[in-house]
Amino acid sequence: MPKHSQHRRRGKYALDADDLEWLASTPDHTDDGPPEGDRWSTWDQSTPTEKGPRPYPGWLVTELAAVDTEHGVLKTGKEADVHLISRGVPGTDRVCLLAAKRYRSAEHRLFHRDSGYLEGRRTRDDRMNRAMAARTAFGKQAIAAQWAVAEFGALCRLWELGVPVPYPVQIVGTEILQEFIGTPDGYAAPRLAQVSDDLDDLWEQLVAAMVTLAGEGLAHGDLSPYNLLVHEGRLVIIDLPQIVDVIAHPAGPSFLDRDARNVATWFAAKGVTAADPDSLTALLRTEAGLAG
C-alpha cells in the first residue's frame, strides 16, 4: 500500500477533540470487580479435583455471587504467608472465614530444607526436574507449586481419614484456601506451644492422629508444638506441605522418629507422664510396618 494511503487510513480512524472529551466523560465499564470486598470468590476457578472432599461442609460459602475480603496476615513463614479472608454473599448472612496460604513467588526464599523433603517427588518432565535441581527461577516456581499441590493433597487425604486437619476448601495456583481454625470474629486458635491446660487429653489426641498417619505409611515430617493448634479442646494439625511417605522416602523412618521425639519430649517436659519418646517411636514404627 502506498505511503499516502497509509496516512489517509490512519487519519480516518484518528480521534478528534470531541471524541476525546466524550471518552473522558464516559464511565469506565471495564471494571468488573465486586461491589464490595477485594475480589470475587475464586470458587469457580478450581476444578472438581482442586476442591475439597464432598460433601462440602454446610458452613462453606460456594455461591458464585460471593466475594472475598482480606483481613490481614495470620502467620508469616519462610515458604508461605497465611492470610485471613472472609467469603460472603453481599446482602445476606452467608459468610465464612478462611485461611489463605499463599506460597512465595520464585524470587523469595522457599521452604527450608526443601531438598530433603523433595526426594522422590520427581516429575515426568526432565526439563522441570533439571530446573528444580538447579534452583532456576522456573525451577523455584515449580517447587512452590509442588509444595502447594502436596499440601492440598495431604489435607484432602487426611481429612477423609478422619485426621484432625483444617477442611481443605480449594487450591488456586499456589494459594490454598482452608478452614479457619479460630473464633467467629477472626481470632486464631493458639498453638500447642502456648497451651498449658488439658495436656493429657491433647497428648492422647495427638498419639491417635499420629498412629493413623503411620498406619497409612505417612509422617508429618516437621511436627512440633508450633504447627499444632488447640481449638475448644480439640487438637488440629497444620502445615503439611512436607508430608513424608515413610516407606518410599529414603529417609522416611528418620522423619517418623523425629516427629515422635519432638512432640513426646515437649509433652514430657510439661509433666505428661504418658509421653515417652522411645515408646511413641516404637509404636509408630510398628504401625508403619517398620519394626524389626
Q: What residues are annotated to the active site?
A: 222, 239
Cα angle 202, 203, 207; round to 5 = 120
Name residues whose C-beta falls within 8 Å of residue 253's C-beta, 6 or more positions apart in sequence: 246, 285, 288, 290
Q: CB under 8 Å, gap of 24 or more: what pairs does 246-251 form?
A: 246/214, 246/217, 246/218, 246/219, 246/288, 246/290, 247/217, 247/288, 247/289, 247/290, 248/120, 248/217, 249/119, 249/120, 250/119, 250/120, 251/116, 251/119
Separation in Å, CA 276 to CA 72, 205, 284 = 39, 15, 12
Specify whether the CB–CB gap between 255 and 247 falls below 8 A. Answer: no
